Structures are given as C-alpha cells and as structure tokens.
Amino acid sequence: MTILDQSTTTSPASVAAEAVALLTGFGVDPALLRRGDLVARSPLTGEETARLAVVDPASAAPVIERAHEAHLAWRTVPAPRRGELVRLLGEELRAAKDDLGRLVTLEAGKVTSEGLGEVQEMIDICDFAVGLSRQLYGLTIATERPQHRMMESWHPLGVVGIISAFNFPVAVWAWNAALALVCGNSVVWKPSEKTPLTALGVQALFERARQRFGADAPEALSSVLIGDAAVGAALVEHRLVALVSATGSTAMGRAVAPKLAARFARQILELGGNNAAIVSDTADLDLALRGVAFAAMGTAGQRCTTLRRLFVQEEVYDVFVDRLKSAYGSVRVGDPRVPGVLVGPLIDHAAHDGMVAALAEAKQAGGTIHGGDRVDVAGEDAFYMRPALVEFPPGAGGQPAIMQRETFAPILYVMRYRSLEQAIALQNDVAAGLSSSIFTRDLHEAERFVSVEGSDCGIANVNIGPSGAEIGGAFGGEKDTGGGRESGSDSWRAYMRRATNTINYGKTLPLAQGVVFDV
C-alpha cells in the first residue's frame, strides 16, 4: 500500500546540483564527480548525484605504500604536535559544519538535526583526541631487581585501514582517524559505495588542515579509496595495513576477520546490533515513550544502535503500547530537509525490500503490524517508509526467528514480559550484543541490569534508549557485534603497540626469579 503525504512532499532544487556545489566549496574538483563508473545517488529523490572513478584492487597497493611512508615520518613527530593537526581538523569541521551536515542529509537521508549531529560527533572526537595527545600514558612498574627500572611504553602502529558504512558516513571515520593520527599512524579510508561524496568532502577538509599544519604532516597521511568490496579486500589483505577498523554487517565481519587473522593483523569490528529495551512497570512512561520513539524511529531505523526489540512489563503493556502506537501513527515521514520531519528515506531499494520481507515474515509468525506502509514523497525511485510496530502475542514461545535477526529498517518488535529475569533472558537471547537499555525507577532493577547478571551487551543504559552514544565512552559490542571498541575511554590503545622495557642502570646483572647463570 502506498500513502501520499503531501505535507512532507517538496519540490526542491536538484539534489545533485546542491551536492556538487557543497563539494566544490570544500575544495573537491568538480571534474572528479562526472568521470567514473560508480553512480552515486541520493536517497531523497533517487536521482544520480555523481559518477566517480573507482580504484581497482591492484591500484590500492601504491596508495597503501605511500600511506606507510607517511607513517614512518609522522611517527617521529611528538604526540602533542600531532594533536595540533587534529585540532586544526576540528576547526575546519566547525567552519564547515552546516555544509557538511547538509551533505550528509543529501547523501545518507538523515534529517537536518541528525546530519548536523553527525558532524558534531566529528568535532567532539577531535577535541577528545587533542587532549589525548598529551595523555598517551605508559607505566612505571615495580621490579624485583636492584638498580633496574621497568616501564611500559606505547608506540605508533602503522597504517590504519578504515572501512565505513553508509549510515554514519563521516563520524565513524573521525572516531578512528582522530585517534589514529594522534597515536602516530596514517589512515586509508574505504567508504561505503552508497555514500562516497561525503568521504571526498571530508578528505578535502582534512587536506585544508594538513596544509595549515605545515611540512611536518606528510602527504598521504590520509587517503580515500573509492571502490567496491574488492577494494576493501585489498585493504584488508595488504601486509602494510597494521590495523583494520571495519563497520558493517556481521556477514562482512565474518569475511574480514579470517583474512586479518591469517596475517596476524589487528582488527576493530563494529558489526550487527539487534538492540533491545525493557520498560518496567516502575518506569516513567513519559520518559520511556520519548526514549523508545527516538531509538526505534530515528535515522529511519538505520543506526547500528537502533532499537529493534522492546519488552514491556505486562502490568503497563496496554497503556504504554497504545501510546507508542499513537506516536508511530503521528510521526512525520518525508523529505528530511523539511522542518518537522523526523523520519527520512531508507537508503535504497534493497533496504525497502528487506523491510517488506521482514514484515511479511513477522505477519506469518503471528505478529500484528501497525504501520510499515510506503509513503510517496519523491516518486518511485525514493523509498520512504512509515515506521512499523509489530506486536507478538503472549505465549508465543520466545522470540520468533524474525526477531532474532537484525533488519536494517524502522521495525520495532514488541512483546510483554512478567519478571525482570525473563526480560533480561529475552534481551540476551540473540546473536548480537551491541546496545541495550532499561527504563525503570527501581534501583534494584537498574543495578541488576548493568551488573554481570544483566545485559550482555557492550552498551547497557538506564532510562535512555540504546542509541545516541557520546564519544567519551568506548563504543562497541560483544558476540556477533565483533568485540571491537572505538571512540573514547582507552580505545586509543588499539591504535598503538605496547613495549615493556627493562633498564639496568647498575654494574651487576641480577636475573629475575633468582636464576643464576655465571659464566
């Protein structure tokens, strides 16, 4: 069924023309946007925005080799000085925030506030990394040997490969690049084929910062490889790429991980997240409603941390779910540039087909579907969908198979529960383990949820939804989510190598553990 929602249908100027103008303003040569085989499209209208030349796998090797040479020079620059480059990058991002946020909206379909918010994440991680550049601490360790000192030090790793997904086309690069750069590494970025233009824009802004920084920042310190999965594979397999941070599906992670393991390279994997929330009978239902609505419908259900499963205590189920259904029915779906629109388009036709297939399976499994219709906003080549809420009846025998798989679309599956133990068991009974949350005013429930007996996810929140993470905390998950951590806390350690040093400043040679070896 197709619904025509005229209130959110607009006839703006060409998306392609605006995207080209924004990129030109960043310093991207417009000739690069019309001479290749990779067709870039905007999900807003489905129109073609550019044609980009792609890098073949063989041509990736020289780019990586130049990045390695850049690393060899960059690693000798003192870390606080390296932080100055990232500070300048943050300045460029601040100055370009409105325009880059707009480009994110045009290419990834995010509403205006979310596009701007993604750029703000980049700025925030730059600020974090600048401070970090003076805090790459090692340790002084007590030693059993007299006139000896033992210490731990950290050194740059090498070339860091970054493979990013369409849903956060620029922030994920920044999470990795800002830390990698202050840690003394170079970066090579393979963006999603669905969002290559934002990558070109960010690279141009980085080059502005590098030019301002001066000769200490070598060329090829940051590079972009536009291409398909074969280019990503070339990045993964190259011996000079010391670390690969890859964001995408669990299937992608299963393909990448063995290749990295085969050559003992490091990996940061940020994969699927079939995230859940629990609404207790003690919850502030107004707060829970806002938290659930944003987490489930924001970014059109295309965040790694999107809320996909909801467990509501049976005593408040009817009143809460009725209110939630009203919110789903009233949320504005449409062109994300229009004020008041909260849900923009799915990224492409494949995402639409995946949502339709999931809803059909949910119905077959006994689910009652509210919403999920296609909304006609910009014609047949743009895929706007009303968010869907699917209720599964009590006594369904656990979660149906469709609930145990992540569908990257705005579908929220809802079930009732009786006890907290039951709710936690349901939440944890999926392969992924990225993010989770509970809404409760009961201290026992809150503490139980974040304890070892509670959520098994990398992120466990109380009285906020599972999405919307800040950069200060380490971001990542467990199980099929991959186990990697990016962004804040001590995530920087993944971008460096550790050395334990023992220094003998005496004139004898005592051995550890009382060993005697006189010659």
Show which residues are catalytic.
Answer: 270
What DSSP letter does each residue of 64-99 carry, written as one string? HHHHHHHHHHHTTS-HHHHHHHHHHHHHHHHHTHHH
> CB-based burial of residue 51 (10 Å sphere; 0-12 exposed, 13-18 middle, 19+ buried)?
middle
What DSSP letter does each residue of 423-491 carry, written as one string? HHHHHH-SSEESEEEEE-S-HHHHHHHHSTTS--SSEEEESS-S----TTSEE--EETT-S--EESTTG
Task: State how far Cα 332 lies from the chain centre.
Answer: 25
Q: Are 163 and 245 in contact (CB under 8 A)?
A: yes
Long-range contacts of 378-381 (CB under 8 A, 24+ apart): 378/9, 378/44, 378/45, 378/46, 378/335, 378/345, 379/45, 379/46, 380/46, 381/45, 381/46, 381/47
Buried/exposed 210-228: b ≥16 CB within 10 Å, e otherwise: beebeeebbebbbbbbbbe
What DSSP letter does each residue of 116-151 carry, written as one string? HHHHHHHHHHHHHHHHHTT----EEE--SSTTEEEE
Structure tokens that stand for 379 in this block = 């014609």
Q: Which amino acid is at 221?
A: L
Query: What does the alpha-carbon distance between residue 52 and residue 50 come to, in Å, rounded to a whole number?
Result: 6
Q: Within 13 Å, how many C-alpha atoms sit on residue 34's CB side?
A: 9
Q: What angle do CA 495, 197, 46 make, to 5 degrees?
A: 130
Query: What does the alpha-carbon distance between residue 128 and residue 352 come to, in Å, rounded to a whole number?
Result: 37
- Which residues, other chains included, contact 485 with Cβ-Cβ below 8 Å and sequence gap of 6+? 268, 458, 474, 475, 476, 491, 494
Structure tokens that stand for 262 in this block = 């085969």
Nearest to 198 by CA among 346, 52, 340, 384: 52
Nearest to 115 by CA among 169, 194, 178: 169
Query: What does the alpha-carbon distance between residue 424 and residue 401 come to, in Å, rounded to a whole number?
Result: 18
Helix (H, G, I), strand (E, B) or coil at 50: strand
Nearest to 210 by CA among 92, 72, 67, 79: 92
Q: How far apart are the first and last CA of the chain?
A: 88
Structure tokens that stand for 311 in this block = 């467990």
